[in-house]
Chains A and B, each alone.
Chain A
Amino acid sequence: MNIGYYPGCALHGSSNDYEQSLRACLGALDVQLQEVKDWICCGATAAHSLNHKLSLALPARNLALAERDGFQQLFAPCPLCSMQLLKVQKAVKENGLREELSQIIEADVRGDGQVLNLIQLFERVGLDRLKAAVKEPLKSVTAACYYGCLLTRPPDVVHFDDFEQPRSMEAVLAVLGAKTVDWSYKTECCGAGMTMASEGTVLELAHKILSNAADHGANCLVVACPMCHVNLDMKQAAVERRYGKKLDMVIYYLSDLVGLALGLSGEQLGVNRHFVTKA
């Protein structure tokens, strides 16, 4: 299976452990990721906060490049990148912005084609096929599946899963032989891109999420977003210092757990490069 791949800046920056995990895991499933040539940053929170037009134009350029390269399916592992791409498709198809955006970005953007997040990519592979490929069932894993904000919101842009009670990640974990917990914070926000600009916000939100997962019996937390991982993994030591308690919650990318179940090692997946690692 050949799929267009828009990594986004995080995966080529400090979240390169996520890219390592994806490449190892998806390679084992015979999914070939073909990077969109000459992609640019989608503008992220900064663009939609300060300049609406720019926040459509930057991802529109990437969408047009993916269309030029002939990708019917475009995988964007960062939910913000993914949501912004879907927002552009909506603007082009429903709001008549195709001509204006195409002029701004010096390329024709049609807005057809499918944008996929990581969970949808596994659904595309097929949960039956995934189940058949499992070599090491994850018997010791009791996970809190954390969706954060943008995998399911805003629903009229992303049209994915139930936006209050999503279950798609739990379905993936079930075929891996892992247990999952019911908990209260699966769609709460972790503070996203505020990690540096407003650290207090991130620590408060991360503390609530991590504590709630632990209180409901989870021994790890699973994400499908680079920023969620930064705030819950890299900032976990700062959360522990600020709130005076030990959390020791391992944070996996969804592809880590799929990869481990397929028999890959933590080193192959980059799990050893996380901040919080299993003792």
Chain B
Amino acid sequence: MDLAPNQLLRLVQLGQTDAALRSQAIWECVSCQTCTTRCPKEVDCAGVMDALRETSLAHGMGAPAQQPVVSFQKAFLDNIRRNGRLNELELIARFKADVLFRTGRLAFLFKDASLAPQLGKRKKLHLLPEKARDRKVVERIFARCSNQADQ
């Protein structure tokens, strides 16, 4: 991480939000909640991380080196919006295509491809995944919660 959670908070306190919003750290964060749990001042640091990510995307300031993480999260939400429940194969295809388009890293397309037959053998791949019945409601929930980060 280029910045630790306490450093990110200090930047925000000092009004240097641009540095925080452009940091790699906010996208490297795995949301383990350790910082929130151990903060001696009871700051919800992980919640601040979430807010920084949301704001960073809304202003188009996501760190380029962390593009795969941004692409993954966006593809995930788009998947839920359309299906109501996660369609894993579609998510992977969409994610890989997006990273290829944005970074030109062709090798990324085939990374982990060898896992597919292994997952198939273990009956862990669903070629006809289920969808939620009330997908129109899901669409409306998304519309009511829409923010600039969706764009």
Binding site for B on A (CB under 8 A): 9-10, 12-17, 38-41, 43-55, 57-58, 61, 103-106, 149-150, 153-155, 163, 188-189, 191-194, 196-199, 201, 205, 234, 273-275
Contacts and interface: CB of A to CB of B under 8 A. Distances in A.
A168 to B, nearest CB: 17
A222 to B, nearest CB: 19
Contact of A201 (B30, B36, B92, B149): B30
Contacts of A149: 31-34
Contacts of B118: 275
B119 A14 contact: yes
A155 B68 CA distance: 30
A51 B150 contact: yes
Contacts of A45: 31, 73, 76
B136 to A, nearest CB: 10
Query: Which 10 residue pairs spanning A and B have beta carbons closest together?
Result: A189-B32, A9-B86, A46-B76, A197-B72, A153-B33, A54-B145, A46-B73, A14-B124, A149-B32, A53-B145
B113 interface: no
Given A192-B32, A194-B30, 12 more contacts: A13-B129, A17-B124, A39-B85, A40-B85, A41-B84, A46-B72, A46-B77, A54-B141, A153-B34, A197-B68, A234-B115, A273-B124
Most chain B CB atoms below 10 A, which of A10, A103, A153: A153
A155 B85 CA distance: 28
Contacts of A55: 50
B69 interface: yes
A48 B48 CA distance: 11
Interface residues of B, number: 55
Contacts of B57: 50
Nearest to B122: A273
Contacts of A150: 33
A106 B137 contact: yes
A274 B118 CA distance: 10
B71 A12 contact: no
Most buried by A among B74, B95, B129, B141: B141
Contact of A192 (B30, B119, B149): B30
Interface string B16-51: 000000000000101111101100000010100011
B122 A51 contact: no
